[in-house]
Structure 1
Amino acid sequence: MPEMRFRVRWPDASEELCYSPSLVIKDYFAEGQTVPLGDFLAKSREALEIASERVRAKYGFACSAAMDQLARIETTGKAFANQPDARVTICNFEE
């Protein structure tokens, strides 16, 4: 199963390298794209849940690394929840 990483820039300009066990992230985001925080969180949740289920279908168990990544994304996102104009940039994909 092709895994990948994707680098995001948070509203405070910090960057994080995120993990996905599947290329499905590319179905939700594009390099250089900037999206509202809420959209980023929702799309990340959907994509990483799909990625985890793809692992389950292939190996018989969900991908805990995808769910850990989702938890980190959601935790970081909470720090910016009070900023109505908070946006996240998808810097690049690393396959």
Structure 2
Amino acid sequence: MALLADLVELARRYGRYGYRKIAALLRAAGWLVNDKRVERLWRQEGLKVPARQPKKGRLWDGDGSCVRLRPEHRNHVWSYDFVEARTHDGRKVRLLARSAC
């Protein structure tokens, strides 16, 4: 089916688009389809929009997906944190703590 082939090609090319935006692209290309039909075919093919990952530590690929950076060996990733405490007379003490993940 040519419609299904076009739908899968558009979903591959535009990885972050959902079925509604793909339906608009199909209509712009000359197909007479509504959103419900595109959604039914979308589900039938098992297509999904990948979930967005948090911005912290992301690495974008050219195809619209994102891959998290992972530690490659022990002590490869470090985190810094401020620790706050009070002295016996009530003054504030702030320390910069470093820990390995």
TM-score by length of 2: 0.28
Query: Which fold has the larger relative contact order, with Cα–Cα distance below 8 Å and residues 6 or more apart in sequence?
Result: 1
TM-score by length of 1: 0.29
Larger helix share, 1 or 2? 1
| Structure whose alpha-carbon radius of gyration is higher | 2
